[in-house]
Amino acid sequence: MKVGTDGVLLGAWVNSHKAQRILDVGTGTGLIALMLAQRNPNSQIDAVEIDAAASKQAQQNVLASNWHNRVSVYHSSLQQYQSPLPYQLIVSNPPYFVQSTKTPSQRRTQARHTDNLSPQDLLIHSCRLLSAKGQLAVILPYHEGLLFKQLAQDTYALHCHHYTQVKTMTYKPITRLLMSFGRAACAAPIVNTLVIGDKRSIGYTPEYLALTNAFYL
């Protein structure tokens, strides 16, 4: 999977300024890892990718960037990945199709379906790799996001501290949830809404442009 709006949103939205060590799970071509390297000049970013071709492309993109000395790409599944030190931030734009029709492309299916990275696996291994005060941040479709949020809290004691409801247009339903989780209980998470499109202007809302402006040419 190439560059998409979901990845751009997560890379721009997540609160990452205090994270010295960051892990990008399912990095694809390296988009989110490179965005976080751009945003955080003192952070070290590790990125894991199960697909060999995508991992190779991510490595090439990192080498061609200004942040190649702070981003490392590993061809590995999250389940097999080991780190000697915990992470203050784990980010993922994970697969989310569970029982939908598979595509003819095995690589596209792997990127979009949960066969190789279930919500449970993402949560189990995030708990394993997160520091005590670390956060997990994800973007998911609305309904899958609500299920993930409940699963994270009820089964893995990861509590939602902030979530943003994403709409393509003001009058359209919520399509995505941006969510961050931590181990500490949170009685009143931050909740807000982001609208991407605006027919009255150049196609994007001022809020979306302000969030993502640093990453578009």
Per-domain boundaries in the chain: 5-156
Measured between alpha carbons, how far is 83 from 13 in angstroms, rounded to an integer?
25
For residue 37, what are the contacts with CB-CB under 8 A and spacing of at least 6?
A: 43, 45, 65, 67, 70, 71
Q: Which of 118, 114, 103, 194 is nearest to 151 (CA)?
A: 118
The mean predicted confidence, pLDDT, of the chain is: 91
pLDDT reported for residue 113: 42
Give the pLDDT of residue 100. 44
Are the C-beta atoms of 65 and 91 separated by less than 8 Å?
A: no
* Cβ neighbours for 86, distance < 8 A, ≥ 6 positions apart: 21, 129, 130, 131, 132, 134
Q: pLDDT for 186-207, tens place per residue?
A: 989 999 999 999 876 568 999 9
Query: For residues 110 and 164, what is the distance between their CA atoms, to the nearest angstrom?
Result: 26
What is the pTM assigned to this prediction?
0.90
Question: Considering the chain, what percentage of its residues have pLDDT values greater than 70?
Answer: 88
Q: Are 155 and 127 in contact (CB under 8 A)?
A: no
- CATH assignment, 5-156: 3.40.50.150
